[in-house]
Amino acid sequence: MPKKERHIVTKENFATARRWRGWLAVLSVGLLVLTGLGQGWTVPTAQAARAMPASFADLVEKLSPAVVNVSTTQKVKVRQGIRGLPPGSPFEEFFDQFFKNRRPNGRQNRNPGGDDDGTVTRRLRSLGSGFIIDPKGYIVTNNHVVQGADKITVRTQDGEEYEAKIVGRDREVDIALLKVEADKPLPHVEWGDSGKVRVGDWVLAIGNPFGLGGTVTAGIISARHRDISDSPYADFLQTDASINRGNSGGPMFNLDGRVVGINTAIFSPTGGNVGIGFAIPANQARKVVAQLREFGYAKRGYLGVTIQPIDKVTAEALGLEKPEGAIVAQVSPDSPAAKGGIRPGDVIIAFNGKPISDSNDLVRAVSDAGVGKKVTVDILRNGKRMTVSVTTAERPKSLTVGEQESGEEGAPGEDTLSSTLGMDLSNLNDSLREQFDIPPSIDGVLITDVSRFAAMRGFRPGDVILEVTGRRVKSVADVRQAIAALKKEGRKAALLRILRDEQYLFLSIPLERDEEED
């Protein structure tokens, strides 16, 4: 019988076999791909994303005529004095008296052309940018470019100069609308949809940096929804397109040649460009500009509530899974919220069907709703979700959004009210009411002293506790019972409604502490 051939597997031929199997697999896949291509399949490529153009020149040539330089002059009074002397110093007083005594009539004569109070009127000049949105001569820029100006001059790309008048200004969003009278239709640009802008999209910035005239820079959208100011309306686009002083008010374009933002601010330790610029989104700006054109100011919706943000401790005190929404600290009498049944302590979690993530989100949603609009408001009250209907009014110009101070967790002590809350409490009497100016109509518990722990949560001596997590309190015993009930329920924090200087606030405080901070 012939011998059967034995196949001995060694490291060498095993590796060779693996390589052959690998090549066969590649060939099989290659044949499959080629076969697929024959059947109409396509291979995905990077062409699905919009490529960077070889040049922006055609786009710039089309857009630049609608971008203008905005220059302003403003009269200001400046105090004159000996250079190098700090105001109010003894040397300044000495030299003032010295010059005064040298004059025959005893009056100071080192301020020619100035006033008797030692000031002189000077003209300050500032430069910015803007863009034409209507051939009739309507121009958009930043409010801070024209604020306080006595004279505004607009210069177009072809060198024509026009004196501009302010149609309306909005300080909250930092937008101004100007109008010039021209004897011909002016070139203009169109608004784009900033809601469709994505991080990584190409953008162009055209403006008047440092007064040099029309200057173009390119970059990408670096981020969205940046909050860089105290305004609840702050919602900026961030870009690395070079923006410098003088670019304020200029347009940011997408590659379709539409305005997606208004260049407004930069972040810089030196005052120059470091690749971090900010623009007001076009969708926000367009609404404000339309109202400035129609009314001369921005009309905003109004609920009539003072609201506060919700942090983790407050969320725990309210029994919320996560810190979302806005808590109602106070409801104005006869306001839309009061008429709709909204109460202090309610947590607004949605407005007109839109989820509310924080207090600023609510302010923007109410503002955008307009005036006289019937909307729905979803709230949490004592852990139960409910929906109320509200008709918005016009927001008063003096309204501000209350803010809650943040704090840190602190320390345990003995299981007493003072050590738990980190504050000393007292029942109200006539003497304390007079000392802390508390009206007789107010029932509550007075905070007479606070530890560092309570102070870091925002509490102050003189605050009057009105409620503890929804429970009305009129005595120290009431507070003690409310805290005990919360602990029994397993709550780790309490939410106190307080009265301070005629303002109602909600402040939260942990009921469990790990380290002494008093």
* Residues classed as catalytic: 144, 174, 248
Torsion angle of the four alpha carbons 271, 275, 278, 281, in this order, in degrees rounded to the nearest 10: 160
Query: Degrees (nearest 5) of the Cα angle 185, 186, 187?
Result: 125
Q: Are 197 and 259 in contact (CB under 8 A)?
A: no
* Burial grade of 457 (CB within 10 A; 0-12, 13-18, 19 or more): buried
Nearest CA among 244, 189, 180, 181 for reference residue 66? 189
Residue given tokens 């055609």 in the structure block: 58
Output the six-digit token pair for 460: 């102050």
* Burial grade of 158 (CB within 10 A; 0-12, 13-18, 19 or more): exposed
Three-state SS for 339?
helix
Torsion angle of the four alpha carbons 316, 318, 322, 325, in this order, in degrees rounded to the nearest 10: -140
Question: Which residues partner with 379 through β-bridges?
Answer: 348, 386
Q: Which residues contact 111 (CB under 8 A, 6 or more apart)?
A: 80, 118, 119, 120
Task: Render the burial of 21-40: b for 16+ CB within 10 Å, e for the rest.
Answer: eeeeeeeeeeeeeeeeeeee
Q: Are 309 and 403 in contact (CB under 8 A)?
A: yes
Q: Are 323 and 314 in contact (CB under 8 A)?
A: yes
Three-state SS for 501?
coil
Length of the chain: 518
Output the six-digit token pair for 124: 């300050």
Q: How far apart are CA 119 and CA 507, in angstroms?
A: 48
Residue given tokens 């210069």 in the structure block: 155
Q: How far apart are CA 77 and CA 119, in angstroms?
A: 6
Q: How far apart are CA 137 and CA 161, in angstroms?
A: 12
Three-state SS for 5?
coil
